[in-house]
Amino acid sequence: MVNEKRSVGILATGRYLPEKVLTNADLEKMVDTSDEWIVTRTGISERRIAREDEASSDMALAAARQALEKAKVAPEDLDLIIIATVTPDMFFPSTACIVQEKLGAMKAAAFDLSAACSGFLYGASVAAQFIQNGMYRYALVVGVESLSKITDWTDRNTCVLFGDGAGAAVIGPVEDGMGFLSFELGADGRGAELLKLEAGGSRKPVSKVEPGSRENYIHMAGGEVFKFAVRAMNSASDAVLVKAGISKEEVDFLVPHQANLRIIDSATKRLGLPDDKVIVNLNRYGNMSSASIPVALDEAVSEGRIKEGDTLVLVGFGGGLTWGASVVKWSTKEKGND
């Protein structure tokens, strides 16, 4: 359990998607691919693309404001801001500090967290512990990515996968027995080479990149990542249910990372859930990395699919390699001061 003394959950969610839609038909004009090839292998039909002048902090800010408004939490009452992203505005200052200033949340500690597509769950677990131990009351966790800006649009194997967007959650104390029931986090650095952006850091500064090397774009060993993803989604889902003392039969909804429909189908079968109990928006947004789970969660809540008392499994995997999962007893009812 995350907390036997103080229950912690998500008080509200928010999302932001850029206006520009890039369809598979558009991609057919850019690279050697087809709508049928993309849909059959991934389940993706279109994705959102940030404007040239739109950075991760801009999208995070929009999602954050929406979540705060729904939660009825003022920015100045925030104690902590965590931005999960692999596409920060810049190396430093952190995107979280930029968002903090724009929100006017000057009481909040702020930092970025890098766990790729598992980032939102890593961030939520960190925030939950601060609130559980009484150090803070309100935390804002945002998963945001501008993946289009590090995508190689000449590589048909990767450019069809990714999209941009932001999903936010306000995390705070909830009624006893509700909220996060368990977390499962993991990493296997032996797979670091399978999914990476090689250039731009201290190992290979941008100034050392050979012209035409494409090292400043996402590189992925698709087949190996796929096999890892299926294993990670299934094992993390099993482990987090055991930790929470919840059976598969008690799960109302699966909210998976939106990377590939075949991977989601595998996790769905493992839990024995019907399709209408799985939250999927992959076809419309593609893989938004750390933004995938919170955006899917916010859509499902906004549409009234997820209701008070529902038991959710959130699960994802990403570069690192990393994975994360959580069991959530859904409630947005804030518990008063102890």
- For the chain, give the number of residues: 338
Q: In degrees to the nearest 10, what's the CA dihedral of 104, 108, 114, 119?
A: -90
Collapsing DSSP to helix, strand or coil, 156 comes out as: coil
Spatial separation of the C-alpha atoms in residues 302 and 274, rounded to whole Å: 21
CA of residue 263 relative to chain centroid, distance: 16
Could you confirm whether 117 is annotated as catalytic? yes
Catalytic pick from 24, 97, 257, 260?
Answer: 257
Catalytic residue among 24, 117, 159, 260: 117
Pairing mode of beta strands 80-84, 139-146: parallel
SS3 131: helix
| C-alpha triplet 127, 13, 87: angle, nearest 5° | 70
Count CB atoms within 10 A of the CB of residue 334. 18
User: Is there a contact between 42 and 162 (Cβ–Cβ < 8 Å)?
Assistant: no
**What are the DSSP calls for 283-325, one per residue?**
HHH-B-GGGHHHHHHHHHHHTT-S-TT-EEEEEEEETTTEEEE
- Amino acid identity, position 152: D
Q: How far apart are the C-alpha atoms of 316 and 326, rounded to whole Å?
A: 9
Exposed / middle / buried, residue 39 (Cβ in 10 Å: 0-12, 13-18, 19+): middle
Radius of gyration, alpha carbons of the chain: 19
Per the listing, tokens 């998976």 go with 256
As given in the structure block, the two tokens for residue 236 are: 């993390």
Q: Per the residue annotation, which of 24, 159, 260, 287 is the catalytic one?
A: 287
Q: How far apart are CA 63 and CA 218, in angstroms?
A: 25
User: Catalytic positions, please?
Assistant: 117, 257, 287
